[in-house]
Amino acid sequence: MSDPSPPPFLEACARRAPSRRPIWIMRQAGRYLPEYRALREQHGFMTLMKTPDLAVEVTLQPIRRFDLDAAILFADIMTPVEGMGFDLEFAPGPVIANPVRTPADLDRLRTAEPEETVPFVLEAVRTLRAELPAHVPLIGFAGAPFTLFCYVVQGGSSKSFMAPRGFLRRHPDAAVALLERLADVQLAYLRAQHAAGAQALMLFDSWSGLLGPETFSELVLPSVRRIRQGLADTGVPFIYFPFGGSTLLETLRGEPFDVVGIDWRLPLSRARAILGDDVALQGNLDPAALFADRAGLTRAARRVIDEAGTHPGHIFNLGHGIEPDVDPDQVAHLIDVVHDPSD
Residues assigned a catalytic role: 27, 31, 40, 76, 151
* 152 vs 149: CA distance, rounded Å: 5
Of 231, 120, 239, 125, nearest to 186 by C-alpha is 231
Q: How far is CA 261 from CA 42, 101, 139, 235, in A?
A: 34, 31, 14, 19
Please list the residues that pair with 143 across neighbouring strands.
204
Contact in structure between 319 and 263 (CB atoms under 8 Å)? yes
Is-contact 119 189, C-beta < 8 A?
Answer: no
Q: What share of the chain is helix, strand, coil (3-state, %, to 5)?
A: 50, 10, 35
In the three-class reduction of DSSP (H, G, I as helix; E, B as strand; rest coil), residue 77 is classed as: coil
Euclidean distance between CA atoms 102 and 108, whole angstroms: 11
Gap between the Cα atoms of 232 and 317, Å rounded: 25
Which residues partner with 23 through β-bridges? 316
For CA atoms 43, 44, 45, 47, the dihedral sign is negative
342 contact partners, CB below 8 Å, separation of at least 6: none
Residue 181 to residues 153, 175, 224, 248, Cα–Cα distance (Å) = 14, 10, 12, 23
d(CA 339, CA 12): 14
| Segments in the chain forming alpha helices (H) | 8-13, 34-42, 45-50, 52-65, 114-117, 119-131, 145-154, 162-170, 172-196, 213-215, 221-231, 249-252, 268-275, 294-308, 328-339
